[in-house]
Structure 1
Amino acid sequence: MPGDVLGRDVGPDVQVQFTSLGGKVVRSLALGGDRPRTTPLVVVLPGLGLPFYTIPTARSLVARGLACTVLDLPGFGSNLPRPTSPSIHAAGLLAARWIDAQAAGHPVVVLGHSTGGQAALTAALALSARRRDFSLVLAGTTFAPEQRRLHRLARATPFAYRDDRLDQIDPMEVWRGRTGIVAMLQSGLHDAPEERIAHLPVPVTVTAGVHDAFAPVSWLDRLAGSARRAPSVRTSLLGGSHNNLFTHPDEIAGLVALAAADVSG
């Protein structure tokens, strides 16, 4: 099915796919899907469940020889019934089920951005019970401990998007998400990724845009330092601010390609 997300057309190179998982239908946006099964697959979990802004990075990944699928979780990218409740953990657990069903034989990189990073950590922890041929990339992961109150988060927000652009967001996704986006935000505020990442036994990369006030260097260092079971930990500051998957896709793709090399031998 062509890449029409019932909002802005993302182009003919993006294929909309539907996967049934126990009676729940997960919609995804796939690029580079005709590559051999030995090709690393990057599975993207977008922030706040808004897929559109991740497409530039997905294209840059495919240009580097990788396959990429953006998961529409919890389901704000279309008018279809949502396959899961709008919370980081529900989205992460369903993402793990999707990877189990669709990525057998593929080395995998789970790339989560913002609250999608928190969901990606949930997915990675679930996957690690049954496979180790994957790595995790946490990009602009929310929320630093000092930002887990709404008034503190509000103070950081004007500075988090300083290098971003209005055209990175599809208004239809935001409209469809509405209260679900608020629920995702609240779910993220109640999470402590620095505690959960201590149990992660696979390679992890922690990154953010240099001007991302949601992910200061001290928070990146704490996440990286907490990943005590990970066989390797990589940290990197890249260009841009919070949504640098849209504004600096080539830099993100280069870092993710290194994470793919960690698991592809």
Structure 2
Amino acid sequence: MSSPVRIEVEAAGNLGHVFASRRTPGRTPGRTPGQAEGPAVVLIHGIGASHRYLERLHGVLAESVDTYSIDLPGFGATPRPPQTLTVAEQATYLLGALEQLGVLEFVVVGHSMGTQFAVEAARQQPQRIPHLVLMGPVVNDQRRTVAQQALALGRDCLFFESPSSNALVFNDYLRCGPSWYLKNLRLMMDYNIEEMIAGVRAPVLVLRGEHDPVAPAAWCRRLAARTATAQFLEIEGTGHVVQHNRSVEVADSILAFAFVTAAGSEAPQDLST
């Protein structure tokens, strides 16, 4: 599989980057919508991050399905908007950008704050999102302060992450800058995902790394319980950046959830290992 193609896309008055791996023959950026068989998979990064810590997962998924990773406006190498975009505004950008590329139906996969963008996109245009995957969702309803979140993230980086995942995350944090990070942090802390997810109609997979202190198991189970169609899955031996450190296991879980179950197979309500 060749490297993803980077496409600059302006939508809703903002500019972001879409990294596209398309398997469907003849399917190119800007082509008429509706050519792919079945939905694509779209990956959304968290606060301060970019598509780079999703690259391993993107590569594995792209062997099986059309796959897109997004650098939302203000993150990665994208230009910073004149003002901070709300969670809803980032979701509107995501939906508009993919529509321009002819991606009308897709499985949305968010990590960390990206789970908030994913939930909001599924609420705004539910007809386009048949399945929703939330990896390491935030913010834990029993740890609502910035200090508690910072402590959990620090523990994760020190004890449960690989050197490569830490390098990717910290490099992106530096590129993001403290001012932009803190502005988005307040938005992240104020978004009550446990309330918003109740309005999602699509089946939901809540996924976490076994040792993730940012998204502990009890919190993930509470979140999954907020919707009647949710499943919970735990990946052994890793922390918050589960998609980088266990990319094959995560990709297999996403494909089984979104495509095998969609084909009519029985799916267990709790997939935890």
1:165 paired residue among 162, 165, 171: 162
Per the TM alignment, residue 15 of structure 1 is displaced from its structure 2 partner at its CA by 1.2
Per the TM alignment, residue 25 of structure 1 is displaced from its structure 2 partner at its CA by 2.7
Instruction: Report the Cα distance in structure 2 between the residues aligned to 1:174 and 1:28, rounded to whole angstroms.
Output: 20
Contact kept in structure 2, 1:108 and 1:134, CA below 8 Å: yes
Instruction: Report the Cα distance in structure 2 between the residues aligned to 1:22 and 1:132, rounded to whole angstroms.
Output: 18
Letter in 1 for 2:190: H
- Structure 1: give runs of 5+ residues left out of the alignment: 1-10
Letter in 1 for 2:215: A
In the other structure, the counterpart of 1:182 is 182
In the other structure, the counterpart of 1:97 is 96
1:122 paired residue among 120, 123, 127: 120
Instruction: Report the Cα distance in structure 1 between the residues aligned to 2:37 and 2:174, rounded to whole angstroms.
Output: 38
Instruction: Report the Cα distance in structure 1 between the residues aligned to 2:82 and 2:39, rounded to whole angstroms.
Output: 26
SS at 1:54 equivalent: helix
TM (normalized to structure 1)?
Answer: 0.84
Distance change (3 Å), C-alpha of 1:170 and 1:236: closer
1:31 paired residue among 21, 25, 48: 21
Per the TM alignment, residue 260 of structure 1 is displaced from its structure 2 partner at its CA by 2.5
TM (normalized to structure 2)?
Answer: 0.81
SS at 2:132 equivalent: strand
In the other structure, the counterpart of 2:206 is 206
1:143 paired residue among 139, 142, 157: 139
- Structure 2: give runs of 5+ residues left out of the alignment: 26-34, 265-273
In the other structure, the counterpart of 1:259 is 257
Instruction: Name the Cα RMSD after superposition.
Output: 2.4
Overall identity of the aligned pairs, in %: 23
Query: CA offsets per residue over residues 133-168 of structure 1, 9 Å max, x none?
Result: 521100000110122102222332233333212433
Letter in 2 for 1:256: I
Letter in 2 for 1:99: L
SS at 2:62 equivalent: helix
Distance change (3 Å), C-alpha of 1:191 and 1:22: closer
Distance change (3 Å), C-alpha of 1:67 and 1:84: farther
Q: How many residues align?
A: 248
Per the TM alignment, residue 111 of structure 1 is displaced from its structure 2 partner at its CA by 0.2
